[in-house]
Every structure is written in structure tokens, then in C-alpha cells.
Amino acid sequence: MFLKIPNLLAAPEISRLVALSRELRFVDGRVSNPANQTKVNLQADAADPKYAESVQIVSAAFTRSREFVDFALPKHVAPPLLCRYESGMKYGAHADAAVIQLGAGRIRSDLSCTVFVSDPSTYTGGELVIAMGNLAIPIKSAAGEAIVYPSTALHEVVPVRSGQRLVSITFIESLIADQHQRTQVYELNEIAALEGLTMKWENRVRLDVVRQNLLRMWSTT
């Protein structure tokens, strides 16, 4: 299951990230995945003093997004990483690593997220393409939008033909590791949000009991 979040980033945040992309030092993207010969992009250097600001901007957006929190049920979110694709750059088909090393700790990647920063009219190509069975779904969203998808999904970034593609990516360890179970809790939460005020109180209480019991049974803290 995918989730598209319109306007995750506010206009001033987009502008600041674009400005930071001109000020930050970028390094070869294969630093974080040296074994993948199809990864041809650039990523912000975590040693750059301004790197922390780029992380804080996107992290704050995730924290305040009710859509993101309800869908992902985040336990841990990796520091968002600015990635840049110049003309000719790409990231070949791959599935994200199951375990992400973060300093001395590690998180399991249940969900991946791409936050689009560049205005899509400023570059050609560069679509995020996610495989679903024998279908390939191309995604190229407006600046400030985010797409959250299972880390198990085969996906790629097709070559940028012109312009510059700027995104921020991250990985999420969810309170509920199993995608099917997480989806059931999400759907019940959506029903409660959409229909809760029209339900008889007794029925709303019964729904809440089911929601909380499933979360209690399936989550890890």
C-alpha cells in the first residue's frame, strides 16, 4: 500500500532546502551503497555543518503530519537525506536494505519515503518507478509532496534527461512490521476518523477497542 502526502513541506521549507542544496557539500551517492553499480547520484555530506538543518526541516514535517504518522506508525525514522540527480544520473532497480545502520544503532526498514523538493517542471526524466507485480508505476510529484511505499518493493529512479532532480529520502521502522497488519490498523483508523462522529457512542467504543487491541497485539515498542 502506498500513501501520497500532498504539501508535506511548506513553501518556505522547500525554498530553504533548495537554497541548502546550493550551499551543502554533496558526495558520490555510492558512499551509502557501494555495491550497487547502477546508483549514479549525489547525496548531502553528513559531515557538512549545514547537513543538520536539512535533516531538521524534513524531520519536523514528518512529525507534524497526521497522515504520515497514522499510515506509517513510526517507531524510528532515519535522518532524511538530500539527494541530487544531475542530467544523466539515475538509480537502477533495487530493493532497499532490510537493516539500515545509523551510527552505533540500526533500524529495520519497513517503509521508504521520497519527498520531492524540485519543481517537476524544472527537470525531465527522473521519475521514481515502483514495481507492483508486472506493472511499473512512475511517480513524479509536485515540490513538497511525499510518497511512502513498502521498502520491499522493487523500485528505481530513471535517468534525468535535463535539469536537476532534488529529493529527500528516508526509511521508517514501523511499530507494526507486517505490512498487512499495519494496513488493517490504518484502515480502521481511517474509518474512525471519517465516520466516528456519526456512529452511536456504543459502536464507536467497540471500534476503538478493536483498534487498540490490534495495535497492542501487533506492535513492538
Q: Give the tens place of pLDDT for each residue, 120-131.
A: 999 999 999 999
Alpha helices in 130-198 (DSSP H): 179-195
Confidence class for position 198, pLDDT limits 50, 70, 90: confident
CA 63/CA 121 separation, integer angstroms: 28
User: What is the structure's pLDDT at 21?
Assistant: 95
Report which secondary-structure segment, H or E, holds 121. none
The length of the chain, given as a count of residues = 221
Q: Reply yes or no on whether the pLDDT at 36 is more than 90.
A: no
Compute the distance between CA of residue 209 and CA of residue 160 in angstroms, rounded to an integer: 49
Confidence of residue 185 (pLDDT cuts 50, 70, 90): very high
The mean pLDDT of 53-76, rounded to a whole number, is 97
